[in-house]
Amino acid sequence: TMWIENGAPVAPIEPMRFDDSLYRVLGAQLLGLTDRARRMPETDTWDGREPGGIRAPAALVGALRFTL
């Protein structure tokens, strides 16, 4: 995990926990969505390949709350 300033990674940081509400992130803090959805297949299978995954657009979010 890296600290980002002006779009560039500048320093490593300790692992942090996402500590925010989806209602806030996808509501008041949602600035925009891409016009195309990208497919992200499920890769964490133990007994072989299984169908699944997510097809979703990328989101631009104004702010997120994290806990160190």
Domain tally, the chain: 1
What is the span of the domain harbouring residue 16?
2-37+53-67
Q: Does residue 48 form part of some domain?
A: no
Residues above pLDDT 70, as percent of the chain: 90
Q: Quote the tokens at residue 14.
A: 């300790």
Question: Residue 33: which of 50, 56, 11, 10 has the closest Cα?
Answer: 56
pLDDT tens-place string over residues 24-35: 999 999 999 999
∠ CA 62-40-14, nearest 5°, is 50
**pLDDT higher for 47 or 6?**
6
Residue 50 pLDDT > 90, yes or no? Answer: no
Q: Report residue 22: phi and psi, to 5°.
A: -60, -30
Average pLDDT over residues 11-22: 87
* The pLDDT of residue 62 is above 90: yes
